[in-house]
Structure 1
Amino acid sequence: MVVPFHLPPVGAIAHSRSFLARVLLMLLLATWAAGCASVPAQQPRPASHAWAEPQATALGRLVDSRHAQARTRSDSAFTLLDSVDAAFASRVALADAAQRTLDLQYYAIHADASTEVLLEHVRAAARRGVRVRVLLDDFNTVGEDAQVLRLAFEPGVELRLFNPLAGSRKSLVGRIFGSLHEVDRIQKRMHNKQFIADNAWGITGGRNLGDAYFGGDDKSTFVDLDVLAAGPIVRQMSASFDRYWNDELAYPVQALLSADEVERLRAGGEKPRPPVTGAAAPSSAPADPGAAASVALRPAAVLPNVTPTAVVSAQRPPLDLAKVPLTWAPAALLADEPGKIGPGDDEANAGETVVDGLLQLMQGARRDLLVISPYFVPGAEMMRVFAELRQRGVAVRVLTNSLASNDAPAAHAGYRRYRRELLAMGVELHEMRSDPQGADLSGGGRGGSGVGLGSAAGGSKSGTSRASLHSKAVVIDRRLAVIGSMNLDLRSQRKNSEIALLVRSPAIAEAAARLIEASFARNAYRVELAGDGLRWRAPPGADYPDTSGEPEADFKRRFLVDLVAPFAPDAML
């Protein structure tokens, strides 16, 4: 999630016209700041870098072998991971096949059943001698999720927290209040997502690590999209990881917490779990990357408070990296510099950002622009780009969350400010429903594929949960596809750090476009102007009706958005 908290940020109140709000804010800050803790000074720590000879590993040799078979001049390859099984199994396959290095960079890693299984594969890699580095943004390492920090005390694993916050880790609210004297720094988060093995294969996209991203959450299911990459482009991904890992804002967990403190964060005692034997246990030997990696229940050794669920315990489809369909194409990495999150002026720190690069690419569109962004708050600069494209006759179509499906209602408050103007200039707006049935991006209900693996949604609990769009992608003229962690909003542009892959491939672009258009046709309303109001049109043949109000949104959500809207500036949404 890009917006770190769902209520209006305190900083937003400071920009309102309410004198009383400003006075109250100053009093609160003065009271809290007096007892606020601070992050310790950064201590010297060893720099480290990606494995320099990926061709010397089994994963590197597999890339060379597949490239020779493809007989193409393009030396990097890609496949879309458009289902929860594809996304989960690909990460397990990379962890199992790694021989030298495993690098993980995430905004959030949640302590739940799917993470327990995945991190056990990561820990198994460390046990067989793989150097494991985990770089995690510090905002969400609270409550149960603080259990993930135990990984830092495993042999062979290094874990650093980026832009750490002071204060209690018992609750997110407590951490926010404990850091209000640094409210600007709270807003700047490392939102990058990467999973890289041996500097030869890597994954980036919208997914964090947790049940909601892999079909195992009973409250919400994120509809998401990743891309699996192989070849020299992965070296660019690793170089970006190294810049963050060695940055002064990356703190070793041991500099912030002791092992005893991490243990005390565990809530309650250990829960009983079924025994795991035989093929389900992780191997101590490196896997052959050409052999299928089977995803099954692993022993609970990383997150002892997490009880496996039926969803994660079930056998997931295997993944064979030697048989994954690959598209070879020219590509480039779009990556923000870690200084974007540093102290001081946002624009001066940010420089040329991922979203800035996207805007430049969009301006080159000649026929068609497709955008999928869960949190869509365009801002003035993006609106100018859209207006110029429409004047040239370029079709602009956007898929974003409806109010009912948005997990961050404050972001919807920013989006709705631009909705009528976007529609008036001819931008086509589609809002995804919260009904999880058929809401995945795989183009085939619960199991189709783009260029990706096409595996089914693997026993997801989505039938009882709320679907929320979380994919981030831009497709230009059906020939360029950009898939990454960024949203099209001012927070991604100026505050959070982001990363994305730009792939120049009609095949990948067409596959991504089909995924987006399938959502248009199956599980999204088209928003239209209707006199002084708006009308939400259901797709032809849909079993849900048109409506003249925010569809499926209850009173609580509508009220919250109305409450936030007058106070929250776009840059904070």
Structure 2
Amino acid sequence: MIHSLPLPARLQRRWLPRRLRRLAAWVVLCGLASGCSSLPTQQPRTASHAFQATEHTALGRLAQSRRVVAGTRSDSGFRLLDSADSAFTSRVALAQAAQKSLDLQYYAIHADASTEVLLQSVRDAARRGVRVRILLDDFNTVGDDAQVLRLAFEPGIEMRLFNPMAGPRASLVTRILGSLHDLERIQKRMHNKLFIADNAWGIAGGRNLGQAYFGAGEKSNFVDLDVLAAGRIVQDMSASFDRYWNDPLAYPVPDLLSPAELDRLHADTGEQPAERAVGAEVAAPPPADHVTGMVLPGVTSAEVSFAQRQPMDLKGVPLLWASSLLIADQPGKIGPVDDEADAGETVVDGLLNLMQQATHEVLMVSPYFVPGMPMMKVFSDMRARGVRVRLLTNSLASNDAPAAHAGYRRYREDLLALGVEVHEMRSVPRAATGRHDRRVRPRLGSGVGGSEVGASQSSLHAKAVIIDRRLTAIGSMNLDLRSQRTNSEVALVIRSKALAAEAALLIDGTIASSAYRVEQNASGGLHWRAPIGAAFPDTTSEPEAPAMLRLLVNVLAPFSPDEML
């Protein structure tokens, strides 16, 4: 009989003190709250659903013809989107090709140059008669990013906010303080990310919409991974979208605020207004050879860069045809406590069940990794059966959420004790890495055709699990308690050795070029070992993290309950 490896006793002693600290923290925050607001009463509305007759659209016919040419029995085709360029141009291509419907579901849409160009293609679709539905989590619709809500007042576009918070939108702090009377609503967020055209082609993965996700962030860029899908699986993606869109927690934006309120909000931020708010026309860029070294009036240089990226060729992009499954959380996971019984098994639960069927290897990529006791038990069981378990996550220096790192490091030594191979992404300045060399082993975020620019640093944001080099799961989920219990998530699970090999090659390339392997030395301390031939050295402390950041994590650690990270 195979027995689980024992979990360290200190891991099991953390739960009660942490719950007490969580309660104390919320008591303090509630004492700071003032001016609590309430949400308007939901008005009756007619449910809407995905357009089903996909054979009546060019995208639907293209998906079918691509399958016939491939000569496959599999009903869905896939393409990894491993670079910022392919992630951006594929979305533009879908928006430009749509004839009947565009459905966008996102946790965050930022008001910046990339979004301006991308959403212009969405507005153009609406103006030619395409039905556009945009479902956005409400948490980040504050400050300048609230200007994205102007889309709700564009003809042909309907926009809803999922699980909205009460309170002013001037800043995230004021919004949270204005909603502290409803703590459950603040904590539960719709983290799903889908981009669907004509119910025939779609994109799922880890990216939100914004410059940092498309390789043009000024301070940092996210290393991410999406998958382009065509065929039958897209209908499952649309069905998941419809469930959220028609849920009572999806509020039409006009019910929450008016165009005049948006104007007042922009004036109240006290910030310099952008040269052009999201929702205005984008001037057509001149030919490429005329824009070098200049900025057009009213158009930023970043917008010129994004506007010049050619849409992906959907007719010629290689597709891998395979059997697949969409796993998606139910909206009830975010609803009131009495609705949680309807949520069923979660996306992370499903992935853990798949991991337990592994016979050889499980490779995990999760930027925010706070496993908790149940997940640690799964790792223990796998290691006891001789399954190789590998993890790529952020280092402290590359993590954009120090509190999440505080939760992760509680488990780091215990993971090593179980025999889990732990790799941490280093924060690499873009100016130091240069452009992608085709002779270099492929890695996440640097695929051929990528267009990462500037001297900003990189942070891992991809979410993927590869099981026995045959099953690949790519989606919005992190391997942490927040994704498992609190946020809603969605993921594509694809059974394809070829796609798994491609994804694993990207991850292995990232580990080999841009990640430390964390090991425990003979004296019980941690050692961060650089890859062979790397230009960066080994170290015995959190690599490349300044002293103030290490101090911040030490301060946050006692007040960072695992289930809230």
| TM-aligned CA deviation for residue 489 of structure 1 | 0.3
Give the Cα separation in 2 of the matches to 1:378 and 1:448: 28
Structure 1 SS opposite 2:104: strand
Measured after TM superposition, the shift of residue 313 of structure 1 is 4.6
Structure 1 pair 487/306, CA: closer, same or farther in 2 (3 Å)?
farther
CA 453–236 in structure 1, closer or farther in 2 if over 3 Å, else same: farther
Aligned residue number for residue 257 of structure 1: 257
Q: Which residue of 1 aligns with 2:147?
A: 147
- How many angstroms apart in 2 are the aligned matches of 1:338 and 1:442? 40
Name the SS of the counterpart of 2:559 in structure 1: coil
From the superposition, tell whether residues 60 and 440 of structure 1 become closer, same or farther in structure 2 (CA, over 3 Å).
farther
Correspondent of 1:544 among 513, 536, 539? 536
C-alpha distance in 1 between matches for 2:423 and 2:204: 25
SS of the aligned residue for 1:309 comes to helix
Q: How does 1:117-196 map onto structure 2 within 5 Å?
A: 117-196=117-196
Assess if the C-alpha contact under 8 Å between 2:117 and 2:282 holds in 1: no
Q: CA deviation digits over 1:415-451, x for unaligned, max 9?
A: 111111110111000000011448899995999589x
- Match of 2:322, as an amino acid? A
Matching residue of 1:331: 324
Instruction: Name the amino acid aligned to 1:495.
Output: T
Q: What amino acid does structure 1 have at the position aligned with 2:496?
A: S
The answer for the alignment partner of 1:489 in structure 2 is 480
Could you tell me whether the CA contact under 8 Å between 2:21 and 2:559 is conserved in 1?
no
Residue 498 (structure 2) aligned to one of 503, 507, 514:
507
Q: TM-score, normalised by structure 2?
A: 0.89
- Alignment gaps of 5+ in structure 2: 1-14
- 2: CA distance between counterparts of 1:538 and 1:167? 47
* 2:414 maps to 1:425: no
1:460 aligns with 2:456: no
- Distance 1:439-1:46 versus aligned 2 partners, 3 A rule: farther
| Change over 3 Å in CA distance of 1:459–1:440 after alignment to 2 | closer
Q: CA separation in 2, counterparts of 1:442 and 1:375?
A: 26
Change (3 A) 1:14 1:167: farther
Question: Match of 2:355, as an amino acid?
Answer: M
CA offsets 1:336-374 (integer angstroms, 9 cap, x no match): 000100111696354200000000000010001100000
Which amino acid letter does the alignment assign opposite residue 465 of structure 1?
A: S
Work out whether residues 95 and 121 of structure 2, in 8 Å CA contact, stay in contact via their aligned partners in 1.
yes
Equivalent-residue separation in structure 2 for 1:447 and 1:218 (angstroms): 26
Determine whether 1:567 maps to 2:559.
yes
Contact 1:342 1:349 in 2 (8 A): no
| 1:286 corresponds to | none
Residues 333 and 486 in structure 2, CA contact (< 8 A), matched pair in contact too = yes
CA contact (8 A) 2:195 2:204 kept: yes
Q: What amino acid maps onto 2:134 in structure 1?
A: V
| Residue aligning to 1:387 | 380
- Listed one character per residue, the Cα deviations across residues 276-317 of structure 1 (whole Å, up to 9, x for unaligned) are 34888xxxxxxxxxxxxxxx99xxxxxx99845267356224
Cα distance change, pair 13–409 in 1 and its aligned pair in 2 (3 A): farther
Answer yes or no: is the 8 Å Cα contact 1:441–1:515 preserved in 2.
no
CA distance in 1, matches of 2:102, 2:446: 22
Distance 2:441 2:259 in 1: 42
Identify if the C-alpha distance between structure 1 residues 343 and 537 changes in structure 2 by more than 3 Å, giving closer, same or farther. same
Match of 2:33, SS? helix
**Separation in 2, partners of 1:44, 1:419:** 50
Q: Tell me, yes or no, if the aligned pair for 2:469 and 2:500 is still in contact at 8 Å.
A: yes
d(CA) in 2 for partners of 1:224, 1:368: 22
Counterparts of 2:298 and 2:166, CA distance in 1: 24
Instruction: Say if 1:68 and 1:155 are closer, same or farther in 2 by CA, change over 3 A.
Output: same
Task: Tell me the TM-score normalized by structure 1.
Answer: 0.88
2: distance between equivalents of 1:326 and 1:566? 48
Q: Is the 8 A contact 1:311 1:458 kept in 2?
A: no
Question: SS of 2:182's equivalent?
Answer: helix
Q: Distance in 2 between matches of 1:41 and 1:272?
A: 33
Paired with 1:440 and 1:423, the residues of 2 have a C-alpha distance of 33
Distance (Å, rounded) in 2 between the aligned partners of 1:326 and 1:27: 53
Distance verdict in 2 for CA 1:13–1:195, change over 3 Å: farther
Displacement of 1:519: 1.0
User: Quick check: 1:355–1:493 contact (8 Å CA) kept in 2?
Assistant: yes
> Are the equivalent residues in 1 in contact too, given 2:190–2:489 (CA < 8 A)?
yes
Alignment match, 2:471: 480
Contact kept? 2:398, 2:460, Cα under 8 Å: yes
Identity %: 64
CA contact (8 A) 1:74 1:329 kept: yes
Instruction: Supply the distance in 2 between the matched residues of 1:537 and 1:178 (Cα, whole angstroms).
Output: 46
Q: What displacement does 1:465 show?
A: 1.1
1:564: Cα distance to partner?
1.5
- Cα RMSD over matched residues? 2.9
1:32 aligns with 2:69: no
Q: Residues of 2 paired with 1:266 and 1:354: CA distance?
A: 37
Partner in structure 1 of residue 6 of structure 2: none
Paired residue for 1:276?
283
Q: Give the direction of change, closer, same or farther, for the CA distance of 1:279–1:329 in structure 2 (3 Å limit).
A: farther
Following superposition, the deviation at residue 565 of structure 1 comes to: 1.2
SS at match of 1:565: helix
Q: CA deviation at 1:163?
A: 0.2
The 5-angstrom pairing of residues 228-267 of structure 1 reads 228-267=228-267
| Partner Cα distance (1:343, 1:380) in 2 | 25
Distance in 2 separating the partners of 1:505 and 1:555? 45
1:553 equivalent in alignment to 2:560? no
**How much does 1:240 deviate?**
0.2
Number of residue pairs matched by the alignment: 536
Q: Secondary structure at the match of 1:160?
A: strand
Indicate conservation of the 8 Å contact 1:341/1:349, yes or no: no
Paired residues of 1:266 and 1:305 also in contact (CA < 8 A): no
Distance in 2 between residues matched to 1:371 and 1:175, nearest whole Å: 34
